[in-house]
A and B are shown apart, each in its own frame.
Chain A
Amino acid sequence: MDKPRYLLATILFVACLTKSVFAPAQIGRPNIIFLLADDLGYSDIEPYGSEVNTPSLSMLAEQGIIFTNYHTAANCAPSRAMLLTGVNNHLAGVPNIPETFTPEQRQSKNYQGVLGDNVVTIATLLEDSGYHTYMAGKWHLGSEPNKLPSARGFERTVALMDSGADNWEQRPYLPIYDQANWFSDGERYSLPDDFYSSRFLIDKTIEFIDENLDDGKPFFAYVPFQAVHIPVQAPKENTEKYLGVYDEGWSKLREDRHQKAIDLGLVSPQSGIKTMSWVLDWSALSKETKKYEAKRMAVYAGMIDAMDFNIGRLIKYLRETNQLENTVFIFTSDNGAEGSGASEPNSFLSQGIAGNLGYNTNYETLGEKGSYNSINPGFTSAAVSPLSFYKFYTGEGGMRVPLIISGETLGENIKFSPSFAWATDVARTVLSLAEVEPAGARYRGKAVLPMTGRDLGPVIRGESSRVYSNEDVIGYELTGHSALFKGDYKLVRNQGPLGDGNWALFDIVNDPGETKDLKQNMPDRFQEMLGDYAKFEQDHGVLPPPAGYSQLRQMAINTLKDRLEIPFLVLILSFLVVLPFFVYAKFNKRQ
């Protein structure tokens, strides 16, 4: 072979080798799929003791690690801010959803309820490091052009801006919205006629992944489901699988799930369980009411079932395209199950609200298109079993949720971890999996806050049993509901209407149900943690709401104000336009 030919052959060989190394997504940095359920309770999926059939999540749990002591914010947007930035939600500008702030709180730059410009999302960091970044699902971190997911690091998006929406069509679920605000790649988006949320979001995720399948770059896909947020809706065939399953009521289900959690090793056999005093007595309900409530829960189970089925479709697609072995899955929920569904869904008030939005609450079609469904506090107490309280409260039921991290590349490691983990850790762990460093003090020329989340990698790999020491402190606040985690202990205060507003101290490792208040037995620890909490409030700019604050009432006031403010302004301006004509006409008449 002469020299030029030899050179050419060498170049071709190297080129082929390079292509074979970099082209397939199976080699190199892993693909990461972040599946986020909405308002899913601690024991709502099979790996955490549920009777709901979730084979896809069971498979992921089987091949991965289950965190039994993972905590997140007690409601949606704050949780999402932490999950996507690794920064405390108060500092990231999202102490709560924007509709709930008092006028005084709105003065603070941190109390805007949308993701601040002082934080960098993991999507931005991953995109800048060569990842494709996709998102399909609920965003709820701001809908101004510079706040959209397409402006926060996601290359392809189809995203819901609101706190929730209908699962069957483009329709708002609360009177605070004029419409369901969906965007795709920065532009307003109209949903297709055959829309069902979980199916559609997985279809879009597959479509996005498929577009760049052969370019050799890994991807990060964020799939924040609408399941199982209100309105709780599911395909009929999924609901029908659970008809009859809940006929024995919520107290029995709460007990069963507690026992299953013990059997699975998720909680200690000695762990207690509290009866939530506000939950109605199932045995006192009429036969008709029991039948209706059991179907409400069957739809809820069907919605989880449908989500799992569609996760299964995504896994199948990845397997068929030879990407599964290099893909890491993270599955969790944004907060605990929601218990604000009406206790009496057929009451005049409940039907009036649903009817005002154009929905019905008929038994026959419950959960189907045009039906407004939810679960009431009774079945919510089972969804969070064996924990206390639920969404919007800082009891474990509002904050402790499933977390599964799974993937063949993670290797054969421990199956369960009782290690305390916090929402910000997810962001840091994603970066670690992708071998990407967090942002420094400045990013893209702007000062940004440092990521405080910790890498769960050492726990996943079995190198360490925990990532937080007994001295590390994690604080949290939501409209006066407060919590502080330190070691095995949790300082907590739940405000009304369900809480008593008093501080309590629990050992959440041995007593996740928060049944034994230790503040009398451990006064020194109690005082120390109160001091830690005061420091947390100060360091994070927490603005406690005024006495007598009610989130629902504030939301109603703000909505009314927002609704009336603009019409009032329009009228004033219109009068100003007309005024010269009026003056001229009067003046002319006198002449």
Chain B
Amino acid sequence: MRLVLERFLLGVVVLFGFFFIVLGVRWLVDPSASAIGLGLAPQAGLGLSSQVGDLSAFFLVTGLSILFALTSGNKLWYYPSVMLLLAAAIGRTIAWLFHGAAFAPLLIAFEIGVGLLLLLASKTLPKQE
């Protein structure tokens, strides 16, 4: 049973890793559509530079860290992804509480959920010898 659960967790973590990489690459290839997907107005000039640079970095680092964790078996590699996702959830909450941003419960729940899932993976998935 434990083995099945571990394999399931491994599959889910692989999918999330790939998903974040796709999001990161999409920011590099098609920033306008990516911005609209996140409820952002596509920018021009310096705004566009920041959107593409910062957001592609966020998603690529999240995804790559997961893949590094999976291939190296070193649980420390999960932590950058966990920190990024949980910090994003905290940031969204602060934006809602103090800056008049829209409350985004689904996105906050997703970020916390995936962050916790990765923490669980760091504890349970098999380590490299």
Q: Which positions in A face B, CB cutoff 8 Å?
A: 145, 178-179, 186-188, 190, 566, 569-571, 573-574, 577-578, 581, 584-585, 588
Cα–Cα distance between A93 and B29 once the two chains are bound (Å): 26
Q: Is the interface of A mostly helix, strand, loop or mixed?
A: helix
Taking a contact as CB atoms under 8 Å apart, the answer to whether A588 and B71 are in contact is yes
Q: Which of A178, A179, A574, A585 contacts B21 (CB 8 A)?
A: A574
| Contact A187-B44, Cβ < 8 Å, known A566-B29, A570-B29, A571-B22 | yes
Cα–Cα distance between A566 and B30 once the two chains are bound (Å): 7
Total number of B residues with any Cβ neighbor in A under 8 Å: 24
Q: Which of B25, B60, B128 contacts A570 (CB 8 A)?
A: B25
Interfacial chain A residues near B44, Cβ < 8 Å: 145, 186-188
Which 4 pairs from chain A and chain B are nearest by CB? A581-B67, A574-B22, A573-B25, A566-B30
Taking a contact as CB atoms under 8 Å apart, the answer to whether A573 and B29 are in contact is yes
Taking a contact as CB atoms under 8 Å apart, the answer to whether A585 and B71 are in contact is yes
Interfacial chain B residues near A570, Cβ < 8 Å: 22, 25-26, 29-30
Cα–Cα distance between A584 and B70 once the two chains are bound (Å): 11
Q: Is the interface of B mostly helix, strand, loop or mixed?
A: helix
Q: Which of B26, B30, B36, B71 contacts A584 (CB 8 A)?
A: B71
Cα–Cα distance between A179 and B39 once the two chains are bound (Å): 12
Q: How far is the CB of A520 from chain B (nearest CB, A)?
A: 55
Does B43 have its Cβ within 8 Å of any Cβ on chain A? yes
Residue of chain A at shortest CB distance from B19: A574
Taking a contact as CB atoms under 8 Å apart, the answer to whether A574 and B25 are in contact is yes
Does B120 have its Cβ within 8 Å of any Cβ on chain A? no
Cα–Cα distance between A573 and B68 once the two chains are bound (Å): 18
Q: Which of B18, B43, B70, B71 contacts A574 (CB 8 A)?
A: B18
Interfacial chain B residues near A145, Cβ < 8 Å: 44
28 contacts between A and B (CB under 8 A): A145-B44, A178-B32, A179-B36, A186-B44, A187-B44, A188-B41, A188-B43, A188-B44, A566-B29, A566-B30, A569-B29, A570-B26, A570-B30, A571-B22, A573-B25, A574-B18, A574-B21, A574-B22, A577-B25, A578-B17, A578-B18, A578-B21, A578-B67, A581-B67, A581-B70, A585-B70, A588-B71, A588-B128
Interfacial chain A residues near B36, Cβ < 8 Å: 178-179
Interfacial chain A residues near B91, Cβ < 8 Å: none
Does B105 have its Cβ within 8 Å of any Cβ on chain A? no
Cα–Cα distance between A186 and B43 once the two chains are bound (Å): 11
Cα–Cα distance between A178 and B41 once the two chains are bound (Å): 12
Other 16 A-B pairs with CB < 8 A, given A187-B44, A577-B64, A578-B17: A178-B33, A186-B44, A188-B41, A188-B43, A188-B44, A566-B29, A569-B29, A570-B22, A570-B30, A571-B22, A574-B18, A577-B60, A578-B67, A581-B71, A585-B71, A588-B128
Interfacial chain B residues near A187, Cβ < 8 Å: 44
List B residues 7-50 near A (Cβ within 8 Å): 17-18, 21-22, 25-26, 28-30, 32-33, 36, 41-44
List B residues 88-129 near A (Cβ within 8 Å): 128
Cα–Cα distance between A570 and B19 once the two chains are bound (Å): 11
Most A CB within 10 A of own CB, among B28, B32, B36: B32
Most A CB within 10 A of own CB, among B17, B36, B60, B67: B67
Q: Which of B30, B32, B41 contacts A190 (CB 8 A)?
A: B41
Interfacial chain B residues near A584, Cβ < 8 Å: 71
Q: How far is the CB of A548 from chain B (nearest CB, A)?
A: 32
Taking a contact as CB atoms under 8 Å apart, the answer to whether B42 and A188 are in contact is yes
Taking a contact as CB atoms under 8 Å apart, the answer to whether B71 and A566 are in contact is no
Most B CB within 10 A of own CB, among A571, A581, A585, A588: A581
Interfacial chain A residues near B28, Cβ < 8 Å: 573
